Amino acid sequence: MRAAVVTSFDTPPTCQDIPTPTPQAPDEVLVDVIAAGLHPRVRSQADGSHYTSTDALPLIPGIDGVGRAPDGTLRYFVLPDTTMGAMAERTLVDLRRSVVLPEEGDPVLIAAAMNPAMASWVALRRRVTFERGQNVLVLGATGNSGRMAVQVARHLGAGRVIGAGRRPEPLAALTELGTDATVSLDGAPDEVAGRLGQAARDADVVIDYLWGQPAADAMRALITNRADRGRPLTWIEVGSVAGPTAAIPSAALRAARLCLVGSGQGSVPTRDILAELPGLAAEITRGAFRIDAHAVPLADVEAAWRDTGAGRRAVITP
């Protein structure tokens, strides 16, 4: 069968022939893959930089997808840490890590949306006690996960939703997705801090896809401008596109009621992530969230990898 194969962490995967794998465990089945999303998480799997990565090569990338199981059901599946990923004509799926989808579901849209939507869905439902009416700042709102976070926060009953991001056009487009205000992160750090501090001074929850210096600057800005420093502020670290480390001022943790948590594999147990799949898949299938996706044939996987523009989510279709 054909698969995307990573043979070196320095080069993109290429489409190659590999032997078809055989199920080994009682709940494992061979699934015909229909669509697998090319998420940042998959890129970091393929370049060996994700915190779950091992040195094992070759590997087939892809952490989730939509496929047809031997019993004929259409399923969304999440794979464990494995070298037999989703970007292949067939892959091994543990049925307990999958959810049956309605036949009318669009596999490409579902494969595109589940990972970026899970980021905020799980963060708000599993890492904080999120209450309707609370105000949410999405830091790094112009990416696929950020755009989803705006919609998920709105869907879960947020009060004000503020989106902060760099590029003007996707930032302006956030209003259609449900933001009450947007903040440009473009410009001198002092100006950005001023804008952010004013717009998000009453935030209750921050969903942070950036980390790095922008997160440290934003934290300082929000705390400095807070009307009531005793009002809880929960900062959920979800992504790190602006840098793997951030210099958090110690005063931030003393001068305000700041709680810093992370959300991802490990900080949320696998059983909790799996428990969220059916509800989120149902919402995505009924069209509750908008996502821009484009299908790329498996044969073109190498070109898809080289296209790193942060726009529509690429979905590999074997």
Ligand X SMILES: NC(=O)c1ccc[n+]([C@@H]2O[C@H](COP(=O)([O-])OP(=O)(O)OC[C@H]3O[C@@H](n4cnc5c(N)ncnc54)[C@H](OP(=O)(O)O)[C@@H]3O)[C@@H](O)[C@H]2O)c1
What character string, x for contact with ligand X (CB under 6 A) and - otherwise, covers 206-235? ---xx---x---------------------
Per-residue DSSP letter, 20: P
Give min distance, CB of 148 to ligand X, in A. Answer: 8
Alpha-carbon span 176 to 172, nearest angstrom: 8
Rg from Cα positions in the chain:
20
Q: Where are the beta strands (DSSP E) in the chain?
A: 2-5, 14-17, 28-37, 64-68, 74-78, 90-94, 98-100, 136-139, 161-165, 181-184, 205-208, 233-237, 258-262, 293-297, 313-317
Using CB under 6 A, pick the residue from 105, 197, 264, 318 that binds ligand X. 264
3-state secondary structure of 9: coil
**37, 61, 62, 143: which one contacts ligand X (CB under 6 A)?**
143
Q: Is 78 in the site for ligand X (CB under 6 A)?
A: no
CB of 278 to ligand X, least distance (A): 18
Q: Total number of residues binding ligand X (CB under 6 A)?
A: 29
* CA quadruple 128, 131, 133, 134: dihedral, nearest 10: -20
- Count the Cβ atoms, other than its own, within 10 Å of residue 162: 25
107 binds ligand X (CB under 6 A): no
172 near ligand X (CB under 6 A) = no
**Residues written for the chain:** 318
Please state the closest distance from residue 313 (CB atom) to ligand X, in A: 7
85 binds ligand X (CB under 6 A): no
Per-residue x/- marks for ligand X, 109-128, CB under 6 A?
------xx-xx---------
* The two structure tokens encoding residue 23: 């199920």
First-last CA distance in the chain: 10
238 binds ligand X (CB under 6 A): yes
Binding of residue 86 to ligand X (CB under 6 A): no
Report the residue from 241, 253, 295, 296 that binds ligand X according to the rule CB under 6 A: 241
**The only residue of 239, 301, 304, 305 in contact with ligand X, by rule CB under 6 A:** 239
Q: Does 41 bind ligand X (CB under 6 A)?
A: yes
Q: Which of 65, 85, 170, 318 binds ligand X (CB under 6 A)?
A: 170
Q: Residues 311, 312, 314, CA angle at the centre, nearest 5°?
A: 120
> Helices 107-122 and 144-155, interaxial angle, to 10°?
70
Nearest distance in Å: CB 140, ligand X = 5
Q: Is 282 in the site for ligand X (CB under 6 A)?
A: no
**Per rule CB under 6 A, is residue 182 in the interface with ligand X?**
no
Among 46, 196, 222, 242, which residue sits at the site for ligand X (rule: CB under 6 A)?
Answer: 242
Shortest spacing between CB 176 and ligand X, in angstroms:
16
108 within 8 A of 315, measured Cβ to Cβ:
yes
Interacting residue with ligand X among 45, 98, 134, 144 (CB under 6 A): 144
- 61, 87 Cβ separation under 8 angstroms: yes
Could you tell me the maximum CA-CA distance found in the chain, to the nearest angstrom? 62
**Interaction site with ligand X (CB under 6 A):** 39-41, 115-116, 118-119, 140, 142-146, 165-167, 170, 185, 209-210, 214, 238-242, 263-264, 310
